[in-house]
Amino acid sequence: MRHRDGSAIQYLCTDYRGAMNQTEESLVIRVEGRLGRIMLNRPRQINALTLPMIDGIRAALAGWADDPAVDVVLIDGAGERGLCAGADIRALRQSILDGSDEAMTFLADEYVMNKALADYPKPIVADQRGITFGGGLGVSAHCSVRIVAEDSQLAMPETLIGLWPDVGILHLLGRSPGQLGVHAALIGARLDAGDAIRAGLADHFVPADARPALLDALRAGVVPEFAGPPPAGALQQASWIDECYAFATAEEILSALLAHPDPAAQAAGQALAGMAPLSVKVTLRAVRAAASMTLAQVLAQDLRFAAHFMARPDLPEGIPAQVVDKDRNPRWQPARLADVSDADVDAFFTG
């Protein structure tokens, strides 16, 4: 198997020091034969990312970039639930409430890592099994070889908590066929293996029973050829996606979804109605613009967006309402799509 830019494959290191001393419990980095393996190791939290984990990944990649002993890098997650549920958003919320700059430091370091994964001189295999949400896509979707399985669920659910799909993912979703990327970005739709491949977030379907053989090949320094077509995605025949998300404004999209005869479209409309209105409008403009932007440009924009969103009340409101207390009744500011002005959205793109 080749890297997407045509180059061949490489690895990771076992005895890495420095940042790894902080992450020995949450991040396992070791060499297995010719394979350099980075395992996210917080299975009880579905391997949610922390700042030491981000810095540990960056340090390991830097150490292996010129190491001739390594041929392949693998990023996977401990436990049975998935690769990664995203960032530790409870910690991010606490940072905001405390007036700390830790949240911005985390995001800045994370975006540097996202770019490093995309630019890595040696192919990196990302195992996107199970739940791969938010920052989990950031640590996998920019890699050279992205594999999904029967249980894969890929999503960017940030508008649910008052953010936007970050980690450079709009660079990919902006290039998804039709309106699939807009659908995924606005409501955090969970994509199965087939839809993830179609959206450009994954490359190959590798069933669970083929994983041991794949791991053996990687340890030998070889990424095997992947045979067979991906499974059909649940959204593959959902014509309502292209119909409803083609409208110019978020209000028109919402109306089209709710009025559509397909129950799935109506469910998407109900989901969209519950998202943070400002997040929805910023995301809609951003995902459409991202089709003509480089990854570096999208990540730079993500950092600007982060500063804006961190200064607003929606995130501290959205995390407890949707994730912690789960009363599902966040008090968004502004409260309705109609209350979000063009000037509100413009501020994210001009400052």
In a domain, 267, yes or no: yes
The domain tally of the chain equals 1
C-beta neighbour count of 218 within 10 angstroms: 25
Query: If you search the block for the tokens 């549920």, which residue do you land on?
Result: 85
**Whole-angstrom Cα distance, residue 239 to residue 258?**
15
pLDDT digits (tens, 9 = 90+) for 14-60: 333 333 334 458 999 999 999 999 999 999 999 999 999 999 999 99
Dihedral angle computed from the Cα positions of residues 117, 174, 225 and 119, in that order, rounded to the nearest 10 degrees: -20
Q: What is the β-pairing status of strands 72-77 and 27-32?
A: unpaired
Q: Which domain holds residue 249?
A: 239-350
> Is the residue at 51 inside a domain?
no
Q: List beta partners, residue 130.
A: 82
Residue 281: is its pLDDT beyond 80?
yes
Quote the percentage of the chain above a pLDDT of 90.
82
Q: Tens digits of per-residue pLDDT, 67-90?
A: 999 999 999 999 999 999 999 888
Specify if 60 maps to a domain.
Answer: no
d(CA 43, CA 274): 29
Asked, for residue 277, whether it belongs to a domain, the answer is yes
Determine how many CB atoms are found less than 10 A away from the CB of residue 295. 18
Beta bridge partner(s), residue 38: 29, 75
**Confidence at 327, pLDDT banded by 50, 70, 90:** confident
Q: For the residues of 11-67, what is the DSSP string, one character each?
A: ---SS--GGGGG-TTTEEEEEETTEEEEEE--GGGTT-B-HHHHHHHHHHHHHHTT-
> What whole-number distance in Å separates Cα of residue 334 and Cα of residue 53?
35
Q: According to the 3-state scheme, what is the secondary structure of 235-278? A: CCCCHHHHHHCCCCCHHHHHHHHHHCCCHHHHHHHHHHHHCCHH
Q: Token pair for residue 5?
A: 């830019």
Residue 345 resides in a domain: yes
Within-domain flag for 265: yes
Q: What is the predicted pLDDT for the residue at 4? A: 38
Does 219 fall in a domain? Answer: no
Burial profile 305-334: b = 16 or more Cβ within 10 angstroms, e = fewer: bbebbbebebbbbbbebbeeeeeeebebee
Confirm whether 246 is domain-assigned.
yes
Q: Which residue has the tokens 């799935």?
A: 264
